[in-house]
Amino acid sequence: MDRERGTYSVQAVVKAFDLLEALAAEDTSLTVPVLARKLELSRNKAFRLLATLEDKGLTERDAATGTYRLGIRAFEVAQHILKSANLIRLAHPIMEELARKHDEAMYMTVMNNDEVLFLDMVDSFQQIKATPLVGRRFPFFTNAAGKAIKAMSSADSLERIGRRDLRKKGVPDMKKLESELLDIRQKGVAVDFGGLGDGICAVAVGIRDYAGKVVGALTMLAPSFRMLQERLEIEIIPSMVEGAKVLSMKFGYAQIAP
């Protein structure tokens, strides 16, 4: 029974994507009978799938005509996918250059719902290195990447989230976090030891687009014992800042000289 339910669920997901593709391929809204015929579904099954997609905002129904079209949420999802793909395409060569230059793991990280998502990675050739984190999410206040993005986004970013919400999320010390973000904003780089696990050092620099909006952060991860203060200050941080500057320029960001 469980196996049958699982098979049906997968088929339902495939058909739901087929419905979205059918709606995207047409310039006009479509009726349930037309969609059912196109996808070789019963009208009842097509209606139930469309209703589920409508609940999620992926389709919209015209009450007067009974026709369906793509919903606003579908366009929002598409924009997120395009933005992530473009970010990876532009960032990856710079990540490769930094990873080879320093022989440490490089990531492209982005913010999603106050969590940092590790989106793409170029690994090092070192025998001792941190566990790969691609696809993993972490609260922004626990690590350098999240703090870099939040600090460079705007001075009132914490106020917009709300102190009460931050405490609910587990921020241990609001004053300390505010002070840390201010320091990162002034220096333009975030460094932490142990935020992503014992013995791990992270260095992160924010990336801006043509409008000055922070779209993510170049992030280096390495065992703490290799990230000595002298190496950080002389080698790693200047190189990361330059890499972030080049990547921001690829996104059309032009820093105005003071």
CATH number of the domain to which 18 belongs:
1.10.10.10
Name the strand (E) or helix (H) holding 55.
Answer: helix 43-55
Q: Within this chain, do residues 240 and 129 fall inside the same structural domain, yes or no? A: yes
CATH number of the domain to which 124 belongs:
3.30.450.40
Residue 6, pLDDT above cutoff 90: no
Q: Which long-range contacts (CB under 8 A, 24 or more apart) does 121-127 make?
A: 121/95, 122/92, 122/95, 122/96, 122/98, 123/99, 124/99, 124/222, 126/222, 126/226
Q: Within this chain, do residues 24 and 109 fall inside the same structural domain, yes or no? A: no
Q: Which residue among 48, 70, 92 closes a domain? A: 70
Q: Which residue among 70, 95, 116 closes a domain? A: 70
Whether pTM > 0.85 for this model: the answer is no
Assign 24 a pLDDT band (cuts: 50, 70, 90): confident
Is residue 256 situated within a structural domain? no
Assess contact for 59 and 50: CB atoms under 8 A: yes
Q: Within this chain, do residues 113 and 240 fall inside the same structural domain, yes or no? A: yes
pLDDT at 71 (0 to 100)? 83
Judged by DSSP in three states, 222 sits in strand
Would you state the structure tokens that stand for residue 46, as one six-digit string? 């097509």
Q: Within this chain, do residues 58 and 116 fall inside the same structural domain, yes or no? A: no
pLDDT at 4 (0 to 100)? 44
What residues make up the domain containing 86? 80-250
Tokens 């013995």 correspond to 199
Q: Cα 248 from chain centroid?
A: 16
State how many domains the chain has.
2
Q: Within this chain, do residues 55 and 120 fall inside the same structural domain, yes or no? A: no
pLDDT at 216 (0 to 100)? 93
Q: Within this chain, do residues 127 and 12 fall inside the same structural domain, yes or no? A: no
Strand 137-139 relative to strand 190-193: parallel, antiparallel, unpaired?
unpaired
pLDDT at 175 (0 to 100)? 80
Is residue 31 situated within a structural domain? yes
Among the ranges given (73-82, 192-201, 237-246), the one the predictor scored with the smallest mean pLDDT: 73-82
Tens of pLDDT, residue by residue over 86-138, are 788 889 999 999 999 999 999 999 988 788 989 889 999 998 888 888 888 89
Tens of pLDDT, residue by residue over 204-224, are 999 998 888 899 999 999 999
Q: What is the DSSP letter of 30?
A: B
Could you give the CA distance from residue 43 to residue 139 in angstroms, rounded to a whole number?
44
Higher-pLDDT residue of 167, 151: 151
Assess contact for 220 and 236: CB atoms under 8 A: yes
Q: Cα 231 from chain centroid?
A: 29
Tokens 């929002």 correspond to 76
